[in-house]
Amino acid sequence: MTVGECTLLRSLLDEAGTVVLCCHQNPDGDALGSMLALGEVLRQLGKDVVMVAPDQYPDYLQWLPNSEKIVRYDKRKDYVDTLLKVCDLVICLDFNTPSRTDDMAEALCASPAKKVLIDHHPGPDIDAVLTISRPEASSTSELVFRVVWQLGLFEQQGRHFAVPVYTGMMTDTGGFTYNSSDPDIYYIISQLLTKHIDKDKIYRNVYHNYSENRLRLVGHVLCHNLVVDAPRHAAYYALTRQDLKRFHFIKGDAEGLVNMPLQIKGLKLSISLREDSDKDNLVWVSLRSVDQFPCNEVAARFFNGGGHLNASGGRLYCSIPEAIETVKKAIDAFADVLSK
């Protein structure tokens, strides 16, 4: 933060009694990590803190400290709507536009409370009195660490702060395998380790904590669903509702799967299509890339989405066969760059 941002945030926190923290729909490790970590700090400051997620978060993150305190908007809409009308401050974490909170967007925008945005996605579009937007950061959890550090509040923090921050940084960099070359990241990790976190156990809790069904789903996708366009260094796969039912899919079972095709030598782009479990003609899209190939441009142009250079997402309102045709068009459109 700049000096001015730090001063303004101090003032906003000093004035606030009730603070709502919120994250994006389909919350991932960074969304939950940044929210849980900041929630811990604000409770220590004596604030009445409510953490809100738009919907369900994955099973593999339910071990995070204080995750049981998260209120789901899809389960307690009336309560959250009322809270957003009367709270003093709303802090938006890990999303850049209200639409990413899905059904909560209207109530969020209508809230008379002052808003703060802390995020690392490009193009912030939230009516906030303070916007801390750093697209170059590895994660929003990293930004939360930096905010807490600059406010002089790190020393009194413990594991309930350090664990979610580390988890968010780790998951948003694929275990520090992309968007993680800034030396400051490893200084931050060294400081988190002073809080006696077990980083190896955190890794196991996230990446080695799936069901047998998840493992069989991965095998099925790689064997039967994966399509590799070798000349253009791209790959894609589709998960249909039938696939999800066959392997007893639960939220989080597809996490990390889109990264696996990038293990193929020379591959630059991997695209995942997943049919929504409940809604017809809704397909969730995840994209991953390596080096300087801009999967966020692909997401924005073809999949109603966006994100980071090497990790992006979007959605399509169509059938799986139609979505596959859109993927083919996207690969065609970027063929010259992919083929280099």
pLDDT tens for residues 18-48? 999 999 999 999 999 999 999 999 999 999 9
In this structure, are residues 32 and 164 in contact, taking their beta carbons and an 8 Å threshold?
yes
- What pLDDT sits at residue 222? 96
Low-confidence spans in the chain with pLDDT less than 50? none
Return the biggest CA–CA distance within the chain.
Answer: 59
- What pLDDT sits at residue 51? 98
- What pLDDT sits at residue 184? 96
Do the bridges between strand 311-316 and strand 283-289 make them parallel or antiparallel, or are there none, so unpaired?
Answer: antiparallel
Neighbours of 277 (CB within 10 A): 13
- What pLDDT sits at residue 3? 87
In this structure, are residues 104 and 73 in contact, taking their beta carbons and an 8 Å threshold?
yes
- What pLDDT sits at residue 179? 86
Separation CA 215–CA 255 (nearest Å):
11
State the virtual CA torsion across 174, 175, 181, 187 in degrees, nearest 10. 140
Domains of the chain: 3-207 (3.90.1640.10), 212-339 (3.10.310.30)
- What pLDDT sits at residue 10? 94
Separation CA 75–CA 88 (nearest Å):
23
**pTM higher than 0.85, yes or no?**
yes
Q: Edge-to-edge strands of the sheet including 130-133?
A: 71-72, 48-53, 18-22, 89-93, 114-119, 130-133
- What pLDDT sits at residue 252? 85
- What pLDDT sits at residue 27? 94
